[in-house]
Amino acid sequence: MALLDPTVLGLAPGFFWSIFVVGLGIIYLIYTVVYELFMSPLSVYPGPPLWAITSIPYNIAFLSGHMPTIVTKIHERYGDVVRLAPNRLSYTDPEAWQAIRGHLKAGQVEHDKERSSFYFWSRNNLLGAPRDAHARIRRSLAHGFSAKSLQAQEPLIMQYVDLFIERLCGIAYANGSGASKAPAGIANMVAWYNFATFDIIGDLSFGSPFGCLQESRYHPWVTTIMDSVGQFPQLLILKRHFPSLLDFLFKYKLIGGGQRGQLNLAAEKVDQRLALNTERPDFIDAMTKHADDGREDKVRPLTREEIIENARIVVLAGSETTATTLSGVTYYLAKLPEIQRKVAKEVRSAFKSESEININGVQNLTYMIAVLNEAIRMFPPVPTTLPRICKPGGDIICGWRVPEGTALDIFPHAMNYCSRNFADPYEFIPERWMDETDAEVFGTKLDRSRQHALQPFSVGPRNCIGKNLAYVEMRVILARFIWNFDFELADRADVYWAVNCRHYNLTVKGKLNVRLTPAQRV
């Protein structure tokens, strides 16, 4: 131990111990670099070397709001399976959807949700509940999202679409008394789509709207959603690396106001709805009255806490993601007038009157549906990963052996812009989704061998329960919007609107100002 006595070396004790600690730090750093690059079970995976050594680049990219585009570039350089952190892999191989999230055979163990991600807020709802609890909650909600239920709710949905169009007509005709005059009304379509989808999901959930369309303004709940999206990256990093600090900040309400605000508003709305004590085909009714769905193996009804948690998720997922897709498709159509004219011709020739545009009628608008699919590909409503953890014992995913406990990422943006999945991925080509299109006209642009990479509603037993509702809303609202208006970007700067958006668990969008002109009919 004489070697650790600074007096033997003729050094001051403080200086000696400073050098000793620095030396240990350097040794540890060298060991970490060597281990992660050459000895770790994940060292065989390609990816940026610095990202393999430390999680710092991953966290910085996430904080920037441009993580999906950064990951897209990494995949383009390194391939379909890349290492994004010391214990994290990311995939753009379409088969990864099924391998990581797909339906399981009897007795198989699923790749669980990564609890250090935002799922730690979602133990009691569809998003993050454990497998058994998830099945029980999903069964309770399934009745409200069934095709039969949506048909029954069509008049309710259409009344808000009517009000949405009425409000936009008020803007379009603001400078004139009719179609004979060329009005120059400008609308922020990001806001108006949020108003419409939020009112619809409010009524479907609680039996009353949020009043966004009626009052032409955001409800406080929308504001809390945007607040929580903006806070999300900081909360996620704290949860992964400084959980005790996060608990302290939450305990003293120094952070997480957006999440608390959503839960408080959800609790208020749920209690108001339950106090009515009436039967009405909405989601609260589904969660309280249809827990067993008529089955013999009846399940425990949802608790008040579970109803509140799931109401919060239903409102969030049923409003913001649909509004994001509608904003995206409006942006691309405003940028690409030739495509806008083509889809307008289809919509306006398919119906004799606007009243014919309903849930069933829009299913036959093949080109408009292709336009929506392409907009979802280029502007995914959930652009970032919903991470899983590799199951005990590990697995083989896309031909690679994955150790248990490895975080598994699928970034929809990276999937959708991968040139191995979609030729000319940065080009807006609706025809790639139309089976009857002559492939020789567009050449390799219509190679469909890996187009199942597009999975906006995920796959497997935890796929989005609101898929049918989302498609109904998107198609009916877009068809009615196109029936009534021609439109263009009102500000040249908005040509870069999609690029300027920031992406976290949801997309933070700037204003999308569009100049509306009443449709000119032949």
Contact by Cβ (8 Å): 448, 91: no
> CB within 8 A of 467, min separation 6: which ones?
457
- Of 274, 236, 265, 248, the residue nearest 122 (C-alpha): 236
- Of 389, 412, 485, the residue nearest 130 (C-alpha): 389
Can you list the alpha helix ranges (DSSP code H) found in 54-206? 56-64, 67-78, 95-101, 131-145, 147-152, 154-172, 189-206
Tokens of 364: 């036959």
Sheet holding 388-389, edge to edge: 81-85, 88-91, 407-409, 388-389, 112-113
Residue 282 has phi, psi (to 5 degrees) of: -120, 180
Whole-angstrom Cα distance, residue 321 to residue 124? 21
Contact by Cβ (8 Å): 451, 432: yes
Residues 94-103 as b/e (b if ≥16 CB within 10 A, e otherwise) read bbbbebbbbe
One DSSP character per residue, 281-324 reads SSHHHHHHH-SSTT-SS--PPPPHHHHHHHHHHHHHHHHHHHHH
Residue type, 312: R
Count CB neighbours of 390 within 10 A: 20
- Of 516, 517, 510, the residue nearest 494 (C-alpha): 510
Whole-angstrom Cα distance, residue 227 to residue 246? 17
Contact by Cβ (8 Å): 347, 482: yes
Q: Which helix H or strand E contains 231, and what residues bound it?
A: helix 220-241
**SS3 at position 119:** helix
Whole-angstrom Cα distance, residue 483 to residue 477? 10
Residue type, 484: N
CA angle 253, 254, 258 (to 5 degrees): 70
Per the annotation, binding residues for heme are 464
Contact by Cβ (8 Å): 396, 404: no
Long-range interactions of 39-47: CB distance < 8 A, separation 24+:
40/86, 41/403, 42/83, 42/86, 42/87, 42/89, 42/403, 42/406, 45/81, 45/82, 45/83, 45/89, 45/400, 46/78, 46/79, 46/81, 46/82, 46/83, 47/74, 47/78, 47/82, 47/83, 47/84
> CB within 8 A of 436, min separation 6: which ones?
none
Per the annotation, binding residues are 464
